Structure 1
Amino acid sequence: MKFTFFAALFALVNTALYAQEQINVVLPATPFNKEETKNMLAPGTATMKGFVMKKKRNARNTYLGIVVALFPCTPYFNEWYELQKKNKKGKTLAVMSPEAYSYRILTKASDTDGSFEFRDLKPGKYYLQTTVRQGQMEEMWNRVGTATSTGYNIYGQAVTSFEKPIYEDFKLFYETTDLVKTFVEITSEGQVVNVKL
């Protein structure tokens, strides 16, 4: 996941530079507190259960390998989130340090119903984020030609003629992608929190 994140980041920066746009990459000024973050992610007894909701309501849509990321809301993370919100015109890109980004928990959502679960969490505030990728198959028809039929009388003369279109069926697969995020707070040990993304 680290490689995927930073590969996407570098691709975004390089694409912007290629388009002759200036992107200002910023990191939080708050120092990253490794021990505080490790303590927030230490084992607890709370559970977070959730569902990733389909963004396109067609019942035939299927989920595509959705991974949900959980981050503890440390002062460092909170500043990063606020920096993200300031990026109104796409001129600033807020990023975390590689070390800070590594302190997260990942879980894969079910391909069937989008359900996911985080176990052994401590009380605290958490940030959840995922990219909802859905695929859909549509059967379509494409006109590939025309068949002409001609009617003749008993003398062999053409008296009627009509055309009939020829269609060929094919399947079209397409994908939709939506970024979704939310904050969730666990207030006590042993608590079970339900979440919808």
Structure 2
Amino acid sequence: MKYTLLLGIFLCFNSLIEAQYVEPEKKDKEAMLKKQNEKIIYPKQQFDSIAAKNMLAMGKGKIKGVAFTRARENKNFGLKTGEKIFANKIKVILFPVTPYFEEYYALWKDKSKNNPKKNTYVLMSNDATRYRLESITNSSGEFTFPDMKPGKYYIYGTLGYTTTYTGNQYTGSGYNGYGGRTDYYTPYEYYKDSSEFLELFVEVKSDGEVVNVKLR
């Protein structure tokens, strides 16, 4: 009798845990409302899967590249004057430049249409995103797309890196026997995480051509 009662209580409690509706946390509610207010823009023209598939068919050409960036060391002008930072084991993605992609890219670059701050986004259709090639860089940032047909292509990747900076932190002052003051500093290091979006349009002009590019 005692065990039957405990089992009944357990089953009753478990049914409460697995109720039909669970109230979401406040932050999750806010995220859902934000998502409901999103405006998604797609290219107007129909995606031609046959044309895209034909552009990605086997050819005799090759796209060879190196992906890298430079740290922004000039704080006043934002210039990339540091040493090369090579893209180590990042994914480089290639899309054929079809009329559909050209329309998408123009929309994507238009900040009045593609503006996350205003909750508006430009996207490609699911079918269009399927027709792509992917390559992984080595530790020197090198990547290859073999067997390419003549045509125009768009390649991109995202390079994340950490920059190390040095500074001197004031630790105190002392006075000498002549009434002068000496300030003491201790050197220290600090780090900054950054991310660079790398993109490039490239054209294979003839079958069998090897095109060398710099993705930066």
Relative to the length of structure 2, the TM-score reads: 0.65
Tell me the SS of whatever aligns to 2:82.
Answer: coil
Q: Partner amino acid for 2:50?
A: E
Partner of 2:106: 82
CA contact (8 A) 2:61 2:146 kept: yes
The superposition leaves residues 58-80 of structure 1 with CA deviations (integer Å, 9 ceiling, x where unpaired) of 12756465432110112322221
CA contact (8 A) 1:144 1:168 kept: yes
Distance 1:163 1:64, change over 3 A: farther
Partner of 1:41: 56
Distance 2:187 2:84 in 1: 19
Bigger helix fraction: 2
Q: Is the deviation greater in 24-33 or in 57-66?
A: 57-66
Distance 1:110 1:57, change over 3 A: farther
Partner of 1:51: 66
What do you get for the CA RMSD once the two structures are aligned? 3.0
Unaligned 5+ segments in structure 1 are 1-13, 152-159
Q: Partner amino acid for 2:102?
A: N
Cα distance, 1:184 vs structure 2: 1.3
Q: Which of 104, 107, 120 is the aligned partner of 2:147? A: 120
Cα distance, 1:134 vs structure 2: 3.8
Distance 1:176 1:62 in 2: 13
Distance 1:188 1:62, change over 3 A: closer
Q: Say whether residues 1:107 and 2:135 are aligned partners.
A: yes
Q: Partner amino acid for 2:44?
A: A
Distance 1:76 1:61 in 2: 33
Partner of 1:11: none
CA contact (8 A) 2:64 2:143 kept: yes
Distance 2:144 2:190 in 1: 33
Distance 1:175 1:50, change over 3 A: same
CA contact (8 A) 1:50 1:116 kept: yes
Name the % identity: 34
Number of residue pairs matched by the alignment: 171
Q: Which of 31, 35, 40 is the aligned partner of 1:25? A: 40
Q: Which of 102, 110, 123 is the aligned partner of 1:95? A: 123
Partner of 1:141: 168
Distance 2:96 2:40 in 1: 23
Tell me the SS of whatever aligns to 2:64.
Answer: strand
The superposition leaves residues 127-166 of structure 1 with CA deviations (integer Å, 9 ceiling, x where unpaired) of 11223434321222211223x3454xxxxxxxx4443323
Unaligned 5+ segments in structure 2 are 1-30, 71-79
Mark the structure with the bigger radius of gyration.
2
Q: Say whether residues 1:165 and 2:183 are aligned partners.
A: yes
CA contact (8 A) 1:149 1:163 kept: yes
The superposition leaves residues 17-56 of structure 1 with CA deviations (integer Å, 9 ceiling, x where unpaired) of 59xxx76321112222333322322222211112234242
Distance 2:86 2:185 in 1: 28
CA contact (8 A) 1:64 1:135 kept: no
The superposition leaves residues 106-140 of structure 1 with CA deviations (integer Å, 9 ceiling, x where unpaired) of 2233443x332211112211111223434321222
Tell me the SS of whatever aligns to 2:106.
Answer: helix
Relative to the length of structure 1, the TM-score reads: 0.70
Match runs of 1:171-186 below 5 Å: 171-186=189-204
CA contact (8 A) 1:65 1:133 kept: no
